[in-house]
Amino acid sequence: MIEMNREQKFKIEKKLMGLPYVNWDRYFDAENNITVFGWINREKDNYKDFVYIEFGKPDYDVSAWGTSSKEYSEAIHKIVYSNEDVKHNDCKRVEHKFNIKNCIKLINQEKQIVRLHGRF
């Protein structure tokens, strides 16, 4: 387990509380970081998007983060890297890049894919 002082703990808490639309759920300690996982409720389809933030040792600054949320991705990026000039990179659909069967397919997207292949 990573030992941290009160200031370091507050630094992580402040960053997590800066994302009030994320329901933080789990974390794990690694030798050089703490990774925290949470969920964003999606009202339009009742699914959830994941969010993770990795805080690196020794200063507990954000060393990595990611989300499946298209809606909140840029907002999260601005909060996570508020004082840094780091370029935003959108999350992309797995099935658009990789030809695998074990991936999530959106219903509307499946209809579009079927139309493109002439089955509709």
Work out the number of other CB atoms within 10 angstroms of the CB of residue 27: 16
For residues 115 and 67, which has the higher predicted lDDT (pLDDT)? 67
Going from the N-terminus, what domains does the chain have, and what CATH number goes with each? 6-89 (3.10.450), 92-120 (no CATH)
Q: What distances in angstroms separate CA 96 from CA 13, 39, 45, 102, one per listed residue?
A: 35, 23, 21, 13
State CA 93 to chain mean position distance. 14
pLDDT for 92 equals 82
Contact of 70 with 76, CB cutoff 8 Å: no
Mean of all residue pLDDT scores within the chain: 84
Strands 61-67 and 23-29, how do they pair? Answer: unpaired
Of the two residues 15 and 84, the one the predictor is more confident about is 15
